[in-house]
Amino acid sequence: MILNAVLPWVMGLFVAALALAAWRLFKGPGLPDRILALDTLYINALALLVLVGMQQDSKLYFEVALLIGLLGFIGTVVLSKFVLRGDIVE
Amino acid sequence: MNDLPVIAELLIAALLIIGALFSLVGSWGLARLSDFYLRLHGPSKATTLGVGCVLAGSALYFGLTGTASLHEALIAVFLFLTAPVSAHLLIKAALWLQPGRRPEPPPGGRRAPPP
């Protein structure tokens, strides 16, 4: 009962967090700001997927969340290395 | 959704709300603060704690409804390990783009290697 009432509000808060990160992604003055905004976006999307899994009572979303976590971390590392070295594979 | 005791539902709901508020504060800091080195604090600390709270609530929910697993713990450990690494790489990239922002080494200490 309580969870059914609370879950939409929690998801709305996460969507607001996603919107703020997307605003920084579009506005951000520098390249590191945009990489940081992408990092925040994938972490918040992962939490939102976990919440959707709770709402639908399905464990299918954990694999998706784990995959998003892995690929998002690899993306952040690759973009930072590209800024640092000008190349990804040295 | 399955039926849970009221205490358990209250605990899970509190964890979810605290996690969402921390995550929102992290993103608000990312959008609001003035400098990149200040903006890095929000997502690397507050958002990680918020997502950790949400994962703890999810683990409690699925553990109490009978289908406990290690997925949430796996995601949480992975996030808590990778957040400092990505923050360090982002700081290095920002210092590479603005070399004037590199602070002076402490007196008497070992000099930092040139980038």
* Residues sharing a CB contact under 8 Å with residue A53, sequence separation 6 or more, in sequence order: A59, A60, A61, A62, A65, B58
Give the confidence band of B115 by pLDDT, cuts at 50, 70, 90: low
CA-CA-CA-CA torsion sign (B49, B52, B57, B60):
negative
* Residue A88 DSSP SS3: coil
Q: What pLDDT is stored for residue A58 in this prediction?
A: 85
The DSSP symbol for B42 reads: I
Those residues of chain A that have pLDDT short of 50 are none
Contact B31 A80 (CB under 8 A): no
Average pLDDT over chain A, rounded to an integer: 90
Average pLDDT over chain B, rounded to an integer: 86
Asked if residue A90 belongs to a domain, the reply is no
| Domain range for A7 | 2-85
- In this prediction the ipTM stands at 0.89
Question: Per the structure, how many domains does chain A have?
Answer: 1
Most B-contacting residue of A14, A67, A71 (CB-CB within 10 A), to test interface: A14
Residues B98-110: tens digit of each pLDDT: 877 777 777 776 6
Q: Per-domain residue ranges for chain B?
A: 6-98
Give residues 8 to 47 of A whose Cβ lies within 8 Å of B: 9-10, 13-14, 16-18, 20-21, 23-24, 30-33, 35-37, 39-40, 43-44, 46-47
The structure tokens 């994938």 sit at: A42
